[in-house]
A and B are shown apart, each in its own frame.
Chain A
Amino acid sequence: MTDNVQLEVEHLTMRFGGLVAIDDLSFTARKGEITAIIGPNGAGKTTVFNCLTGFYVPTEGRLTLYANDGPRLLERSEGFRIPRNNGVARTFQNIRLFTGMTVLENLIVAQHNALMEASAFSLAGLFNLGRYAKAEKQALETAKFWLNKVGLYEQADWNAGNLPYGSQRRLEIARAMCVNPSLLCLDEPAAGLNPRESAELNVLLQSIRDDQGIGLLLIEHDMSVVMKISDHVIVLDYGKKIADGDPEAVKNDPAVIRAYLGEDDDDELPPEVAADLHLDPKAT
């Protein structure tokens, strides 16, 4: 099992001032599997993603990505280098497309680094010399492949901002895939989708896992997606891992049920909530 590990997170802690967003979190994600991270709002799921993709530098802990050519430490890498050198691509909870550019341009921009190198940092590209023409053609083929895959070929020349919401979600996934990642991090890909669209999303994600052999890390609230497609589920609450295992086991874990549905007993309110209540005498 250990030789199949793609991502190993050890003792990850992230503090913002006095607030502990992630507290000593350790988990592993295996190659070619879908690993879901779930938990109530504010549990620190997106913070984990931001640490993994270089938007935050973790306070403590080690993040190891096992690429084909050996392990790499993600927390040592500067933000934009993580997608470039280590092949970790991500999408965002609130979609971040280049709305003023066309769908196709969005996918071409995602292949920036390969193209930039082929254009000899624009010098050769200026006169369309050398490998650039070939590289651009290649980039266009990749873009076409993903357009077909997410069913947006017909809308390739639309402005990305004019697409319907569900298509924007799929385009963002396609854009992340154009980075040519080995690990794809999806932050709530099913948010705001209707049941039919969620079902289509399931098919797309499974095909990315099975056909491309890429590991997926998934933050999701929509249980119909999580339970159906994920191979491994990690549950966070208040920055701590409370459960870890296959979907069936996690679903029946009493700690998970407590985190989602709350306590029966009023005395066991979380300490900060209780403190708030005592500070405000009118509330009681």
Chain B
Amino acid sequence: MSSAFASSRTSGSEIVKELAFFAVIALLMSVMILGVETVDRPTGLELAVRWDLVLIAIGSTVIGRLALIVRREGISRLAQAILITLAAVCVFEMFVRFREMDDRWAPPVVLDMAFGSVSSMIVTLCFLAIVFAIAYFSMKEKSAAEVDESTKLSSKIQVAYRSNTKKIGLIGIIFFIIFPFLFGENRSAIDLATLVMIYIMLGWGLNIVVGLAGLLDLGYVAFYAVGAYSYALLSQNFDLSFWLCLPLAGIFAASFGIVLGFPVLRLRGDYLAIVTLGFGEIIRVVLINWYDLTGGPDGISSIERPSFFGLAEFSRRVPEGSIGFGDLMGIEYSSMHRLIFLYYLILALALVTNFVTMRLRKLPIGRAWEALREDEIACRSLGINPTNTKLSAFAIGAMFGGFAGAFFATRQGFISPESFTFLESAVILAIVVMGGMGSQIGVVLAAVVMIGFPEMFRELAEYRMLIFGAGMVAIMLWRPRGLLSFRDPTILLNMSKKEKVAGEAK
């Protein structure tokens, strides 16, 4: 690399210009995020200015950029390793100071650590040595053969993934089935897994509409809300059990899907997105304002919990005439039983969604959805009824949203319009898009990343959204078509799937 760039070395003034540019960018970004902070003082809320953080942010950016320039110009590996270590120290310093939440001047923490005690000195030196070593060796120039090797490896991974999707899916299913046995006593783990599973199911449901039929739906949460309120209202007003209401919730949501589908049949793309967005808001506003029926913003509380298929109850105090789950199974009562049961319930619902979708893809209706996504005019010329095809996609997608909604209502025991805001639709759509349109495993991956990770890193408070944003930008840059953006043919004639995948990877 050094030889290729030797003739085109950047002049000193150009380097200074480049560094100044990045310093300004760092200043603009850090001054609002890091530089200003509201502090709760006895005298009231005050604005604290943290110039030290801004300075360090600019410093680390400039040093890091300098390291990149050194690398680009092929000057010296030692210099770039030193610069990167320095930048890492700056970033570390920034995080430590940031957590202190103190606007008094303090000496650099790194110096404190390095000259504090023997043990902290050793830790600091080890840290520096590791960063230095990584910087020194990872920045080694790659020969053409090595570059070739690494791209070959990534295409090999792709081929391995695509020709083994069934196995990977099976491993995933087994993992989710034994999950409660691994974390049986950990209440928050089961809760989080249930939450992730709800979003996986919603993602799979929306995948039918967006991924397969190519109809951009920004109001999917409306069907989720219809399902939730159907169950809550039916169970409160007519005393129907969860198991009876579940299919009813699906049917109600599907009919709302058709109701939405009719007026938007002629629309495509952006226009469709706007109308579906409006539909989602209409449902929410109706739920807020129809006080007599829905309880308005107060929501509906103490919704009945599901029984064990009508055989036994999960509560500690079992009502007259029925038995507890513990008694039925001959085990001691535990409040975890219900949570684990709920987890398995949503797992089963999600798997049903998945299997139905996978099967529908291989049926004429699924192929027609995909054909409609590709070219509606060609579909009409082949005698495919675009109206029915679109409506069926809306209805089936909505139905699964309705199932998920009924489950959500019974799990929470309380629902209000607040749970069904546009943000939810956006999150579900983001899961589908990020996973890779139409990819079932991609949805699982994206749901874990989008729902699981932010919940796991709750201690980082609002900064997790910052990291989340950075993650989204990274995905846009490196995988613009989603994490797993492949389409598997629904039928093959000559080739096995493996051959087809290998042929395309070439």
Q: Does B88 contact A (CB under 8 A)?
A: no
A206 to B72 CA separation, bound complex (whole angstroms): 64
- Does residue A102 face the partner (Cβ distance < 8 Å to B)? yes
CB of A125 within 8 Å of the partner chain: yes
In the complex the two chains form, is B363's CB within 8 Å of A125's CB?
yes
When C-beta atoms are compared, the residue in chain A nearest to B497 turns out to be A157
A140 CA / B364 CA spacing, docked (Å): 12
Which residues of chain B come closer than 8 Å to A111, judged between CB atoms? 364
In the complex, which residues of chain B have a beta carbon less than 8 angstroms from the beta carbon of A54?
380
In the complex, chain B residues whose CB is within 8 Å of the CB of A119 = 363-365
Is B378 positioned at the interface, with any CB of A under 8 Å from its CB? yes
Specify which chain B residues have a CB less than 8 angstroms from the CB of A179 in the assembled complex: 382-383
What is the count of residue pairs linking A and B with beta-carbon distances less than 8 angstroms? Answer: 124
In the assembled complex, which residues on chain B have CB atoms less than 8 Å from the CB atom of A122? 360, 363-365, 392
- The size class of the interface chain A forms with chain B is 35 or more
Measured between C-beta atoms, what is the minimum distance from A123 to chain B in Å? 10
CB–CB B375/A96 < 8 A: yes
Interface segment among B1-9, B44-52, B441-449, B485-493: the answer is B485-493
Say yes or no: B491 contacts A96, CB within 8 Å: no
Please tell me if A112 contacts chain B, counting CB pairs below 8 Å. yes
Rounded to whole Å, the gap between the CB of B390 and the closest CB of chain A is 12
A90 contacts partner chain B, Cβ-Cβ < 8 Å: yes
Complexed CA–CA distance, A58 and B498 (Å): 50
Verify B363–A126 contact, CB threshold 8 A. yes
Among B360, B364, B487, the one with the most A-chain Cβ atoms within 10 Å of its Cβ is B364
Q: Are A116 and B365 in contact (CB under 8 A)?
A: yes
Q: Which of A97, A105, A125, A154 contacts B490 (CB 8 A)?
A: A105
A5-47 contact mask (Cβ, 8 Å, vs B): 1 or 0: 0000000000000000000000000000000000000000000
Pick from A79, A116, A140, A153: contact of B380, CB below 8 A.
Answer: A79
B359 CB-CB contact with A under 8 Å: yes
A116–B382 alpha-carbon span in the complex (Å): 13
Beta-carbon contacts under 8 Å, A63-102 to B: 79-85, 89-90, 92, 96-102
Chain A residues within 8 Å of B381, by CB: 53, 83, 89-90, 92, 96, 176
Using a CB–CB distance below 8 Å, which chain B residues touch chain A? 356, 359-360, 363-365, 367-368, 370-371, 373-375, 377-386, 392, 487, 489-495, 500
Sample of 10 A–B contacts (CB below 8 Å): A80-B385, A96-B378, A97-B375, A102-B489, A104-B491, A109-B379, A111-B364, A112-B364, A112-B384, A116-B364
Q: Which residues of A contact B (CB under 8 A)?
A: 53-55, 79-85, 89-90, 92, 96-102, 104-105, 108-113, 115-116, 119, 121-122, 125-126, 140, 144, 147, 153-154, 156-157, 175-176, 179
